[in-house]
Structure 1
Amino acid sequence: MARRRPLLRKPRGPVEHVAAAAVGVALAVLLLGAAQSLLRSWPFLAVVAVLALAAAARQPALDRARTERLAALRLTLAQVDALDDQAFEYALRDLLIRDGWSARKVGQQGDQAADVTGQHPSHGRIVLQAKHTRVGAKVGVHVMYEVKGTAGPVHGADIAVVVTNGTLTRDAMAWGDRHRIHWIDRPRLETWADRGTPLHDLLALPGRPAKRRIGWRRVA
């Protein structure tokens, strides 16, 4: 197989030297033109920099305003019912923030039974599984199994909660009570979202995270 000649080599002969010099001059002209363009546009660049600094300085005030707005957040059941699944998850996130949790929405396809996660300095890490319904369907015990199996080992949660604007079956509520999976049905959701009762008071959460996280073994 023939050896490939290098793409770059030193110019040979006067013609190639002249061509190389021409290329060098062209590059120098391009660079000089770019430098001159930057110099001419410095007022625009300065404005952009000032705006960026102003936005950065304003962000803490925006964060405080958002926190103050969420502190007064109230949602009626009618408002909750009108939400879609995604908006319901964002609403639960905002309710957690209102109650002093740093929370974020994580629900998506393959979320392994976690739609919202949060952290609290006194209560530890929480995971919420949201079940929004517009037809009054009941949440079955299988949802409790799924949350039990993933809350601790997958999400590192100290507290797991199933939240619905509908109802839960008796088996689901009883199983959750036995295995430390909290649940919020329609009446409890009204107390939390509309009346403003903090989640940790509503669920009587301990003042410190439990030493043992939610069990990792799936219970049938």
Structure 2
Amino acid sequence: MSDVWWPLRRSPEGTRRNWRRDQELQLRLRGEYGPEWWQILPDFTLLLLGIAVPLFTLGWLWARLGWWAALLGAVVFAYAARAVVLRRRRAVTRKRRQSVRFTLDQVDAADDRGFRTIAGRLLLRDGWTRVRGVRISGSVVHLVGNGRDGRQLGLAFERGIEQAGPEGGGRAALRPVSAAPLLPDGVETGPRPLFVVVSSGSFARERVLWAARTDVRLVDRMMLQRWAAGEDLAVLLDLGLDDVRPDAS
């Protein structure tokens, strides 16, 4: 009987155990296996201490001084926890902002849809919300979004054929903008809407004068380079530093 059951307790070559080991090795080589238990042990210990110490302290205050002391201690711990969470959130926001960067080469190599995608990611990075595309007519698409103060944004694009790709003429050119970017119908605007035209090239003098008359902001190639490199759009367009809170959630 032992000769029958002994092979069942072993894992010879080619069994499921070896297959799992091979899969684990592949995951480790690709960096997808995840942390080991000894790597998460310090964080887990800190988490337990972060829960146990406040509870022990509140219990001690209740027993020695009374319920009012425990309540005061709970308020202090809640305020401290909120400060830690906000600080951590600001750090994550800064890290996310630093990771969303582009170069002019990437902009030039992108087609129309890619150009709009880059601009949309930059808007989200800078804190604009509900950023979405709105089709105006045919292939013309504007981006719209909401600012932190309720300001509505309408953003349009134009690019000359000479800026359509690294070699020139390699991508379809965005149509020139002849009017201010449109906002969706039925949108209730708060503060004065912000209309922006972004170009990977330069603007002619007539276009600059048109923008000044119609209160449209222009982002040319040099400003686009600064925006894509990490500068906030609100700072770039001098919208007011009070509206710029890069570390806000």
TM-score where L is the length of structure 2 = 0.47
The answer to whether residue 202 in structure 2 is matched with residue 167 in structure 1 is: yes
Shift of 1:203: 0.4
Q: 1:182 to 1:153 in 2, by over 3 A?
A: farther
Q: 1:185 to 1:78 in 2, by over 3 A?
A: same
Kindly report which structure 2 residues correspond to 1:95-106, keeping only aligned pairs within 5 A, or say none: 95-106=122-133
Kindly report which structure 2 residues correspond to 1:13-92, keeping only aligned pairs within 5 A, or say none: 68-92=95-119
Deviations 1:42-91 (A, max 9, x none): xxxxxxxxxxxxxxxxxxxxxxx899535531111011101110011111
The answer to whether residue 213 in structure 2 is matched with residue 186 in structure 1 is: no
Over 3 Å off, 4+ runs: 65-71, 111-114, 136-140, 150-157
Which residue identity lines up with residue 110 of structure 1 in the other structure? Answer: S
Q: How far apart, CA to CA, are the structure 2 residues paired with 1:66 and 1:112?
A: 34
Aligned to 1:198: 232
Contact persistence 1:126–1:159 (CA under 8 A): yes
Q: 1:171 to 1:133 in 2, by over 3 A?
A: closer
Structure 1 window deviating more from structure 2 (115-124 vs 81-90): it is 115-124
Deviations 1:19-45 (A, max 9, x none): xxxxxxxxxxxxxxxxxxxxxxxxxxx
Kindly report which structure 2 residues correspond to 1:200-219, keeping only aligned pairs within 5 A, or say none: 200-206=234-240, 207=242
The answer to whether residue 179 in structure 2 is matched with residue 146 in structure 1 is: yes
Which residue identity lines up with residue 147 of structure 1 in the other structure? Answer: A
Shift of 1:114: 5.1
Q: Which runs of 5+ in 1 are unaligned?
A: 1-64, 209-220
Which residue identity lines up with residue 231 of structure 2 in the other structure? Answer: T
What SS does structure 1 have at the residue aligned with 2:137?
Answer: coil
Q: How far apart, CA to CA, are the structure 2 residues paired with 1:133 and 1:88?
A: 13
Shift of 1:185: 0.7
Q: How far apart, CA to CA, are the structure 2 residues paired with 1:67 and 1:132?
A: 31
Q: Report % sequence identity.
A: 27
Q: 1:79 to 1:112 in 2, by over 3 A?
A: closer
Q: How far apart, CA to CA, are the structure 1 residues paired with 2:186 and 2:157?
A: 17
What SS does structure 1 have at the residue aligned with 2:198?
Answer: strand
The answer to whether residue 173 in structure 2 is matched with residue 129 in structure 1 is: no
Contact persistence 1:133–1:166 (CA under 8 A): yes
Aligned to 2:9: none
Q: How far apart, CA to CA, are the structure 2 residues paired with 1:116 and 1:96?
A: 10
Which residue identity lines up with residue 200 of structure 2 in the other structure? Answer: N
What SS does structure 2 have at the residue aligned with 1:204?
Answer: coil
The structure that has the greater radius of gyration is 1
Shift of 1:122: 2.7
The answer to whether residue 127 in structure 2 is matched with residue 116 in structure 1 is: no
Contact persistence 1:128–1:160 (CA under 8 A): yes
